[in-house]
Amino acid sequence: MGERIWTAALVVIGDEILSGRTQDRNIAQLGTWLNAQGIRLAEVRVVPDVQEAIVEAVNALRARNDYCFTTGGIGPTHDDITVDAVAAALAVPVEVNAEARAALEAHYSARGLELTEARLRMARMPQGAELIRNRMSGAPGIRLGSLFVLAGVPHIAAGMLDALTGQLEGGLPLVSRTIGSWGPESEVAELLASTERAFDGVAIGSYPFFKEGRVGANFVVRATDAAVVDACVGALAEGLRAAGHAPVEGGI
């Protein structure tokens, strides 16, 4: 294929994800959003609310990806340490951002509320921060070059991603099509491998399931060239049919 592949990484910050209290939704949400930007989510780390852990992850991942995102830990309470950790990772000071302070003042005064010291904490940002506006919350996300600091609450993170849509340089979006079939995936393992080899730039994933008392699998064909994906899906469907596994377009 030869085109440049753009990659991003994500650092999910939060004890609540590691303890199992909260089901993460930002990995899948960011991965899906990045596909549409022509950027591949290449790796993710989940770290606790501990500054050294955040610094290590952010620095390792931003060094080897085009973009790095974080989610979580940007609220007003004592367990929200992302801003300080990111500033430490970038070796820049934390300061009260005038634009963020004005946004918070507007947000709270519109609600008849005071800008307390705790709320003002949300205007503390690493030096050089640009704000990522969102309509869901007074606290903006933060952009520092190729590093993006997003909220942990998934619908607020989604609002920040909306604001970034079309802003990041990427390559060709990844195209994918799914076909499924009933029966054990082990019966078509060789077919999957040989079909993948036959089409340049294609990856086929096989995802088994157990439904209605029967086993089956969905096969996801991915590439940046839609015509190649279509040709590969056609060949795979034919192979499945020949093997007695009726293909189901769109998956099961």
Q: Site residues (CB under 8 A) for a second copy?
A: 12, 15-25, 27-35, 40-49, 53, 75-80, 113, 116-119, 121-122, 153, 155, 174, 176, 184-187, 189-190, 192-193, 196, 203-210, 220, 222
* 167 versus 186: smaller Cβ distance to a second copy: 186
- Nearest Cα neighbor of 142 from 88, 198, 82 is 82
* 144 versus 223: smaller Cβ distance to a second copy: 223
For the stretch 176-196, what's the b/e string if a residue is b when 16 or more beta carbons lie within 10 angstroms of its beta carbon?
A: ebbbbbebebeebeebbeebb
* 33 versus 67: smaller Cβ distance to a second copy: 33
Concatenating the DSSP letter of every residue in 54-67 gives: HHHHHHHHHHTSSE
Give me the least distance between CB of 2 and a second copy, in Å please: 19
CA distance 185 to 212: 16
Give me the least distance between CB of 61 and a second copy, in Å please: 10
Give me the least distance between CB of 128 and a second copy, in Å please: 25
Residues in the chain: 252
Give me the least distance between CB of 55 and a second copy, in Å please: 13
CA distance 164 to 88: 24
- Hey, is 23 helix, strand or coil? coil
* 87 versus 153: smaller Cβ distance to a second copy: 153
